[in-house]
Amino acid sequence: MKRLTLAIIALLSLIAAQATTSARFGYFDYRGDDDYYRENPLTEPGDYHNPVISGWASDPSVCRVGDDYWLVTSTFGYFPGVPLYHSRDLVSWEHVGNILSRPSQLPWLKGLSIDKGGIYAPALSYNPADSTFYMITTCVLSGKDGGSVNFYVTAKDPMGEWSDPVLLPDVEGIDPSFFFDEDGRAYIVHKSDEHSPVKWSNYRALSIIEFDPATGKTVGKPVKFKEEGVGPEERLERNEGPHIYKIDGKYYLIAAEGGTNWVHSEVCYRADSVFGPYSRWSRNPMLTQRLLKTNRKLPVTSAGHADLVQTPEGEWFAVFLGCRPWNNGEDHLGRETYMMPVKWSADGFPYITQCLDTVSIKRNIPGRATMQESKQAGNFQWRDDFSASALRPEWMGLWGDPSVYAETGKGLTLSCAPVDTKSGKTPAYVGRRMQHHKFTAETEVELRPKGEESAGLLMVKNEQRQYYLAVQKGRVALYRLGKKKDNTLLASAPVEKEGKPIGLKVESKGTAYDFWFRLPGHDWQLLAADIPAEHIATQRGGFTGSTIGLHATSMPL
């Protein structure tokens, strides 16, 4: 009887699976076309465009092993977590994988805010004592309890499989980072929990605790970070994203200060021992753009959250986040990754900018034999025909693994899942970062809807702010998706023959989008023009930029 019951259940599951409507996408094509890059091409050896990783790539952390540079950034409520980038020259980066690529490594994402919860400020380090890479980070939780979880994962080969998370119960707050000293001892520096507003003192909201790589656990109690030499004019709150380095026998600590907005900055301290006390550099901040005129042309703003790395030749460089505001502050790109050389002051402190120094979009590194070649910077085309057996590492899902709905090999087949993109549950959506103010993204989709099913291009800022260009039963339709069931049909056009390939395209003009469709045997037709980009712009809150990709659902709109 039990075997018969199991057989019936299996048969019903098979029938249900076969009954699920699927959409087939033939390709996805993305082309950047920002004016600045076209008007200022790279021409000389050493030329490169900033940002070196364009689009949402916030909180960068970098390390070097031999001639290889590795870099990670934040992912918040997206999966997989923590993209891994590789470079040989610090300006030409390739997205080669994702560190948190298994659902077992990210069990906390379900139901979190896409752009306020999830993975914050990962820090990547290499410990030469055990030849191991360490990635440490915070998952910020939401709901009634809130709080956060700090953990790390390890790998001998960064391109290989990373371990399951190791929790750090004695590390509170956010933004932890490892420091591996020359004597084999190790430490974790992090932003401690704090009350707001912060009562000012020389004890900042940072702590340092020893770590034992042999046991994988912390040792003793956290030591509060103490600074010396602070002046009253420098009392900005929210030191975060700290890193420690040992350079010429001295310990240097850098940290972001002022919060991620136009006053954002990076500051530097120095000490004779890892626990301090630390002396604050008299000319801090070591990086900021807050002193520049707000009406300057092509500004880079909110610069901060830096990490330093030394080349084999002994030069120092910094990666950090910044923003390229558009249309009086409107932007859908979010915080991006920039790179600049590090200079040293007469009194022995590192700095990136001083006074009116600017973070410019085109730069040159003297002495380099080549110029930047990258699919992460400047104008480029990125195309996927889904011929591989798995999704490429650039694709992301919301709150979990979207590959459970996906089949690749001859195009991409997505199940029309009974999940919407506001629910906190993983929908059938594979998206990638928008990386230009002006771009074109297109696809071709085949769908035979039986009822409420739809499939098409989805643009996402968070669970309340999205645009959806969809093929539905009998029509192509454009929706503005808002809070809960607040969806607005903006435009539609009839489709007579269902199941045939229909082209879908969005053109970004920076401040507005045009949406197009193409029926079999016809040219592109404009469905809706000048749809405001503001609806999915980042200045309306949250820590991510916007993504665009392919979506299929059976939920009514």
CA distance 49 to 378: 6
Q: Element (H or E) spanning 27, and its range?
A: strand 22-32
Contact at 8 Å (CB) between 454 and 427? no
Give the Cα separation of 235 and 254 in Å (integer).
16
Name the nearest CA neighbour of 321 among 338, 309, 333: 338
C-alpha pair distances (Å), 337 with each of 73, 318, 477: 9, 10, 35
User: At 18, which helix (H) or strand (E)?
Assistant: helix 2-19
89 is catalytic: no
Distance (Å, whole) CA 140 – CA 146:
8
Q: What is the distance between the alpha carbons of residues 511 and 452, in angstroms, rounded to a whole number?
A: 32
Select which of 34, 240, 331, 507 is catalytic. 240
d(CA 276, CA 279): 8
Token pair, residue 448, equals: 């035979």
Query: Most distant CA pair in the chain: distance in Å?
Result: 84
Nearest Cα to 137, choosing from 163, 110, 166, 94? 166
DSSP state of 102: S
User: Cα separation of 312 and 483, whole Å?
Assistant: 51
3-state secondary structure 411-468: CEEEECECCCCCCCCCCEEEEEECCCCEEEEEEEEEECCCCCCEEEEEEEEECCEEEE
Among 34, 47, 59, 446, the active-site one is: 59
Indicate if 59 belongs to the active site: yes
First to last CA, the chain: 43
Q: How far apart are CA 554 and CA 557, in angstroms?
A: 9
- 533 alpha-carbon distance from chain centroid: 20
The Cα–Cα gap between 192 and 244 comes to 16
CA 199 – CA 163 distance, rounded (Å):
39
Distance CA 204, CA 194 (A): 10
CB atoms within 10 A of CB 498: 15
Q: Answer for the pair 389, 407: CB distance below 8 angstroms, yes or no.
A: no
Q: How far apart are CA 276 and CA 272, in angstroms?
A: 7
Just list the catalytic residues. Answer: 59, 240
